[in-house]
Amino acid sequence: MALSPVTTTFTPQPLGGAFGINAYGPGYIEVNGVRHTAPVVLHPDTGADPFHTNSVSSLEAQHFETLIALDPELVLVGTGEKQVFLGASVLAPLSRKRIGVECMSLGAACRTFNLLSAEGRKVVALLIIEPPAPDPCNQTQP
């Protein structure tokens, strides 16, 4: 028996930034009612902006240099369905500026972003949204 993909929705919180994650599931996140199916950078005051990378494995130091302009005290990296740790050389631009970094699964990053944003923390999330895995129950065999 295959398990169904999990979709999660959140109750809006009165504190924090203007932008928050309303829902996430296989292949998407929803920010203030707008569905995103490709990687984004999310800031609680300015919202979600497209982030041009294909996967966690393609992330380089220059990608993190662009996040410094957002003035975060912490960057959350949502690495997709599974947690992936990034190398020190990739995260070096943030380390040099003494900006904290946490790598976690996409779901954990969404929940943590909402919590820290509600506390008024200067948080930015880089969310790698992977295409949903094919449903083995819906595949036809030749």
> Does any domain span residue 20?
yes
Quote the number of domains for the chain: 1
According to the model, what pLDDT value does residue 137 have?
A: 76
> Does any domain span residue 140?
no
Domain hosting 32: range is 8-132
CB-based contacts of 66, cutoff 8 Å, min separation 6? none
Provide DSSP, 11-58: ---SSS-S--EEEEETTEEEETTEEE-S-EEEETTTEEEE---S-GGG
d(CA 51, CA 53): 6
> Does any domain span residue 3?
no
> Does any domain span residue 138?
no
Identify the DSSP state of 137: G
Cα–chain-centroid distance for residue 62? 18
Supply the CATH number for residue 62's domain.
3.40.1230.10
Question: What confidence category does residue 123 fall into, taking pLDDT thresholds of 50, 70 and 90?
Answer: very high
pLDDT tens for 35-82 read 999 999 999 999 999 999 989 999 999 999 999 999 999 999 999 999
